């Protein structure tokens, strides 16, 4: 994945860039906002990582200008702790996701993968059904079946599975699940998500030979086999 990282904090930028290349991504670093915008305009990237406050041009303005030009490259905003309004402002400017520093690299990587896939497959919102291996979800009738056998899911379990299926083959973190399935961004003190996931797992995996829902140690969960980049 080709990533443009616009971040003026050298330490953070170096760390993120090196971790991204370890993960097999092609990362370009810029420290100034205005230069970053030029670079983003000049050549295509798969995902942008933009710091909130930058010399030259701030992160949100970069994304705003790109969107004005019709550039829909998925963008993730990094913001320092503090401003509660950051999320609202960030998503308003056209950013697709945001992370508050300090963040874990696993969280960033998982979010980048999801953003990348969403960017690469536009129109995913208009599909009427989802299929992962032998697991089928009918989005119109809100029914789930595995190997043709209907599964009875609670509304929250259904939403949880839908999110996992939409991002099948990708690692999704617990924070991402909370954010997209429950609609809140917060840090749970305990493994409250795990209980929900294990309930879902019981319903979709227990009576079948090969499990689909896998726990990724230290990061989160993945539905279906890992997709190769």
Partner 1 sequence: MHPVEVLNSLTFRYIAKYVAVLSASVFLILGAFYVYFSYTSFRDLGLSVLEELQTLSAVYSSESLQGVEHYIDAQNAVPAVHRFYYLVSDAEGNPVAGNLPPAPRYSEFDDGWLGFEMALRDWGGPVDVDFLARPIALGDGYEAIVARSYADIVDRARLVFSNLVRAMLATLLLGIIGGYFSAARALNRVERINRDLARVIRGDPGQRLDVTGEKGYVRALVLLMNEMLEQMESLMQGVRRVSDNIAHDLRTPLTRIRNDLTQLRDQPQPVAREELARVIEECDDLLAAFSASLRISTLESGSRFAATTQVELQRLLTDVVELYEPLAQKRDIRIALDATGELLCPGESDLLFQMFANIVDNAVKYTPDGGEIGVRLRSDADGNCLVVISDTGPGISASERKNVFRRFYRVEASRSEFPGHGLGLSLVQAIAQFHHGSVDLGSANPGLQVRVRLPASLSPPRSDDR
In the complex, least distance from residue 218 CB atom to partner 1, rounded to whole angstroms:
5
Mention every residue, 6+ apart, whose C-beta is less than 8 A from residue 68.
none
Q: Out of 110, 196, 222, 223, name the contact with partner 1 by CB under 8 A.
A: 196
Q: Which is nearer to partner 1, 70 or 155 (CB)?
A: 155
Residue 126 beta carbon to partner 1: minimum distance, rounded to whole angstroms: 28
Q: Which of 2, 28, 159, 199 binds partner 1 (CB under 8 A)?
A: 199
Cα separation, 194 vs 176, whole angstroms: 13
- Binding to partner 1 in span 32-51, by CB under 8 A: none
Angstrom distance (rounded) from CA 50 to CA 98: 9
d(CA 195, CA 201): 10
Report the residue number, 129 or 198, with the smaller CB distance to partner 1.
198
List Cβ neighbours of 65 (8 Å cut-off, separation of 6 or more). 37, 57
Nearest distance from residue 164's CB to partner 1, in Å?
17
Of 11, 43, 68, 84, which lies in the binding site for partner 1, with binding defined by CB under 8 A? Answer: 84
Residue (42 or 81) nearer to partner 1, CB: 81
Whole-number Å distance between alpha carbons of 20 and 3: 9
When binding is defined by CB under 8 A, the residue of 24, 125, 218, 228 that contacts partner 1 is 218
* Beta strand segments in 58-163, E: 75-79, 97-100, 129-132, 135-138, 143-146, 149-151
The pattern of x and - marking residues 173 through 192 that bind partner 1 according to CB under 8 A reads ---------xxxxxxxxxxx
Using CB under 8 A as the binding rule, whether residue 87 contacts partner 1 is answered as yes
Give the nearer residue to partner 1 in terms of CB position, either 188 or 225. 188
Give the shortest CB-205-to-partner 1 separation in angstroms: 17
Q: What is the DSSP pairing of strand 97-100 with strand 213-216?
A: unpaired
Residue that is written with structure tokens 């009738």 in the block: 141
Of 125, 134, 158, 137, whose CA–CA distance to 211 is shortest? 134
Task: Measure the CA–CA gap between 179 and 153, rounded to whole angstroms.
Answer: 20
Task: Tell me, by CB under 8 A, how many residues bind partner 1.
Answer: 25
Site for partner 1 in 148-167 (CB under 8 A): 156
Sites of contact with partner 1 (CB under 8 A): 81-82, 84-85, 87, 102, 104, 106, 156, 182-192, 195-196, 199, 217-218
């Amino acid at each position: 994945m080709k990533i443009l990282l616009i971040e003026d904090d050298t330490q953070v930028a170096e760390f993120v860039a090196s971790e991204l290349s370890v993960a097999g991504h092609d990362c370009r670093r810029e420290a100034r906002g205005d230069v970053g915008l030029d670079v983003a305009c000049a050549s295509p990237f798969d995902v942008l990582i933009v710091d909130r406050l930058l010399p030259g041009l701030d992160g949100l303005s970069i994304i705003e200008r790109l969107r004005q030009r019709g550039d829909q490259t998925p963008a993730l905003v990094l913001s320092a702790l503090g401003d509660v309004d950051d999320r609202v402002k960030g998503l308003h400017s056209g950013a697709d996701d945001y992370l508050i520093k300090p963040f874990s690299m696993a969280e960033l990587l998982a979010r980048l993968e999801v953003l990348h896939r969403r960017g690469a497959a536009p129109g995913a919102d208009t599909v009427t059904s989802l299929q992962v291996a032998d697991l089928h979800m009918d989005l119109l009738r809100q029914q789930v079946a595995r190997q043709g056998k209907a599964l009875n899911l609670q509304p929250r379990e259904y939403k949880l599975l839908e999110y996992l299926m939409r991002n099948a083959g990708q690692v999704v973190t617990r924070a991402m699940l909370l954010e997209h399935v429950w609609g809140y961004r917060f840090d749970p003190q305990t493994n409250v998500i795990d209980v929900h996931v294990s309930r879902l797992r019981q319903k979709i995996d227990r009576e079948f030979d090969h499990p689909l829902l896998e726990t990724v140690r230290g990061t989160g969960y993945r539905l279906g086999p890992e997709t190769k980049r």
